[in-house]
Structure 1
């Protein structure tokens, strides 16, 4: 069973609580603990942190500084704009890599912010080299090779062509050679060994530099994946990096929504849009202030909890509200403003994702901007 960690905080005392329909509590101490666990597992390899998509929806402005306090000095984002924003938050010292590389014409902005582009193509390499020549500087870069995912990175034929050009990396300080597993969460898949072999062969054709292949799931099978630097993302935020086994990570988020209204309906009543549900007997219902505009998947068959009692969703998820069956609760248990748990000790991010037919990554990154956010453990 997934480890649970209770968060002690009086959210009702926080400024902005009264105006919000739902509360998202983010445990920075749990993120730091998860980072420590991953770093320990890596032995001598360095542990970076992936904070793209606003730290997977949890707030890079709070998460990244907490990780710096834990000793993390290397961060990865997806877009140049994310890297520029993160540089303003963290200052000059941490290394910040931009996974999607250089958009055409953005070389100057990347260099000015002190970011390290992950060069994914020969065209990006040429543009960065030419910018270094114009500025008469040596500029840092990572090089990503495509070891078998067919998403980002230089394919083998491009790496081979570059390897025969003695001036390919003039003015470029290669800080990292990297690739990305396609099936790291399936450690027994032969594709992982194939990718390692391809990665190693391609890395030998490039300038000598630290190597990186493992994401969160890639850390767990063993040291053969670790190389010099690992790039965990989802595991930091409590998503299970080893599906099918007990989650080794601490949970990080707790999501609670307020009750708006309660009612009692007679048998035969239609419930929600399209009357997708009907009461087969007298029922008591509660409507909560959470919906698909907040990132809760519309077709997710799910539950809320109050004091450990499971409260099933009834009918369709609306844009701003969800109807719960509270017939199992004693009358008067709920009133407007009562908080019910959607994610927390009784229901993990991964369990919510499974109910929606998706993955924990999508649940976290779908969270909207209307939640009242509370950070604990900072």
Structure 2
């Protein structure tokens, strides 16, 4: 998704949709986010804990999540893009530190400094540009330095770290708040790659000016104290995604997604159902069409189900842009009607369950949730 698309989505999400006008309702439990933060903090035994709010707080509202986390004492936030940082700064004020994970696009350094943002510097070019803007402003500017310890995504490569370490005045005018890196396989605690990255991180950070260190993401927190350093940076775990796959989720669920029934009908044997008549009825069926589809971020390939009063209502036929057909034959006739709500994510089907049906991960489910929902915040 490009920056323009993200901006359009963010703009749409900022325009509230009334419950009556919406086809679906997304309930976001800020109290659960706060409890998840407390649980992560407890595992860190005094190590500071940031909050990652990229992609509009994983699709749930960066400003609202930041306000909730601030009540728990969180005063360091991470976003991915400069535009996200500027928007968050306007929403939450000047006090918390906001770091921009992807660094700054060339030419945007003055805008970042004006918004009191801290770039995560990923290259020599970004380092030079930030040093130059500090010099032009006549003051020291904060930043984090990211090194690539073995993910090959963002951060200074080892050769770059060696180069800047041997160059006098490289960090003049820059207040290095953290030296950081990112784990590629933290959700696989048994693989050797985690310890290999940790050792490489140790080696690289020792070449740089003395500063606090940060390595652990959500799953990294569960790798143990050796990975905690001075600051942890959880994201998905705050929002209820399981940071320990194949084990019980230690986090509380955060969202509930319910869709309205738009229409019900009965069909006979042989009826073709949905696009391409992907399903043929082999007997009489009662169906309900709900107002939610891939246009709302529910993946077209996600063969799943909805729930009503504890009853599983399987999808039947293909997911459409604005609708999904459910088989409601198991319910008593007339029990489900137009305007009633069925549940797609909640106690009976988690974010991770929905991701499994779509062949993806909970992160993608959350960040795909659409702008047409009525968003209800609870537990504030």
- Residue 18 (structure 1) shift: 1.1
1:248 lines up with 2:253 in the alignment: no
Per-residue deviation at 1:15? 8.4
Unmatched tracts of structure 2, length 5 or more: 1-15
Out of 285, 295, 298, the position equivalent to 1:296 is: 298
In the alignment, structure 1 segments of 5+ residues that lack a partner are 1-13
Give the corresponding residue for 2:178.
176
| 1:272-299 deviations in Å (ceiling 9; x for gaps) | 0000001001000000000000000001
Structure 2: distance between partners of 1:15 and 1:230: 35
Query: 1:90: how far off?
Result: 1.2
Which of 48, 57, 60 is the equivalent residue of 2:59? Answer: 57
CA distance in 1, matches of 2:17, 2:205: 52
Pairing of 1:191-230 with structure 2 (within 5 A): 191-230=193-232
Distance 1:135 1:94 in 2: 22
1:318 aligns with 2:320: yes
Correspondence for 1:112: 114
Aligned to 2:360: 358
Q: How far did 1:135 drift?
A: 1.1
Q: Which residue of 1 aligns with 2:190?
A: 188
CA contact (8 A) 2:17 2:372 kept: no
Which aligned pairs between 1:313-352 and structure 2 lie closer than 5 A? Answer: 313-352=315-354
2:308 to 302, 306, 309: 306
CA distance in 2, matches of 1:15, 1:119: 38
Q: CA deviation at 1:221?
A: 1.8
The Cα shift of 1:46 comes to 0.4
TM-score by length of 2: 0.95
Q: TM-score, normalised by structure 1?
A: 0.96
Indicate the RMSD between aligned Cα atoms, in angstroms.
0.9
- Deviation, 1:60, is 0.9
Count of residue pairs the alignment pairs up: 365
Pick from 259, 262, 274 the counterpart of residue 261 of structure 2. Answer: 259
Distance 1:15 1:130, change over 3 A: closer
Which secondary structure state, in structure 2, belongs to the residue aligned with residue 18 of structure 1?
coil
2:295–2:321 CA contact under 8 A, matched in 1? yes
Q: Distance in 1 between matches of 2:226 and 2:176?
A: 23
